[in-house]
């Protein structure tokens, strides 16, 4: 990331993101970046949650209050809003992870810590796979 808060999005992700996309707070102290179509689907799901549920209100506030519509510049860079950079502790070294419906932006040191912990807990991963039917 440069000193203006811009990060180059790898070419393989640019087509999937499209011209405009949404970045928001993610889980595990990273940022979630969604193509508009996937963001719309998530937005519909969150909006349909009952306002009477405390957990639903917390979840909705977490994702919506941090959301920012973004676009790529001519060099394939996105500008990350300051509030999102602060949330994810992003500095010059960023790891970009591609997932099926989104990409994630991680501070390199947080990603390294997360990955090391995940690799040491293969039993937890296999249990999670079983729970979701994989």
68-82 pLDDT, tens digit per residue, is: 999 999 999 999 999
pLDDT of residue 124 exceeding 80 = no
User: The domain that contains 97 carries what CATH number?
Assistant: 3.40.1550.20
pLDDT of residue 108 exceeding 80 = yes
Q: Which residues, 6 or more positions from 118, have their beta carbon under 8 angstroms from its beta carbon?
A: 125
Residue 65 confidence (pLDDT): 93
Q: For residues 22 and 28, what is the distance between their CA atoms, to the nearest angstrom?
A: 18
Confidence at 121, pLDDT banded by 50, 70, 90: confident
The structural domain count of the chain equals: 1
Question: Is 121 part of a structural domain of the chain?
Answer: no
Q: For residues 35 and 115, what is the distance between their CA atoms, to the nearest angstrom?
A: 25
Q: For residues 85 and 79, what is the distance between their CA atoms, to the nearest angstrom?
A: 10
pLDDT of residue 122 exceeding 90 = no
Tokens 């799901």 correspond to what residue?
A: 45
pLDDT tens digit sequence for 10-69: 999 998 999 899 999 999 999 999 999 999 999 999 999 999 999 999 999 999 998 999
Half-sphere exposure (Cβ direction) of 4: Cα atoms closer than 13 Å: 5
Question: Is 122 part of a structural domain of the chain?
Answer: no
Question: Is 47 part of a structural domain of the chain?
Answer: yes
In this structure, how many other beta carbons lie within 10 angstroms of the beta carbon of residue 43? Answer: 17
Expressed as residue numbers, the domain containing 80 is: 6-108
Q: For residues 39 and 67, what is the distance between their CA atoms, to the nearest angstrom?
A: 10
Torsion of CA 17, 18, 20, 22, to 10 degrees: -20
Residue 133 confidence (pLDDT): 78
pTM exceeding the 0.85 threshold for the entire prediction: yes
Angle, in degrees to the nearest 10, between helices 36-47 and 54-65: 150
pLDDT of residue 132 exceeding 90 = no
Question: Is 40 part of a structural domain of the chain?
Answer: yes
Question: Is 60 part of a structural domain of the chain?
Answer: yes
């Amino acid at each position: 990331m440069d000193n203006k808060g811009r990060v180059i999005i790898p070419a393989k992700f640019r087509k999937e993101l499209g011209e405009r996309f949404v970045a928001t707070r993610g889980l595990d102290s990273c940022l979630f970046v969604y193509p508009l179509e996937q963001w719309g689907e998530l937005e519909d799901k969150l909006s349909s949650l009952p306002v009477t549920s405390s957990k639903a209100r917390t979840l909705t506030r977490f994702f919506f209050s941090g959301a920012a519509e973004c676009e790529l510049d001519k060099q394939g860079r996105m500008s990350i809003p300051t509030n999102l950079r602060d949330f994810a502790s992003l500095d010059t070294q960023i790891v970009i992870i591609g997932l099926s419906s989104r990409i994630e932006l991680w501070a390199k040191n947080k990603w390294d810590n997360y990955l090391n912990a995940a690799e040491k807990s293969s039993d937890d991963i296999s249990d999670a796979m079983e729970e979701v039917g994989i």
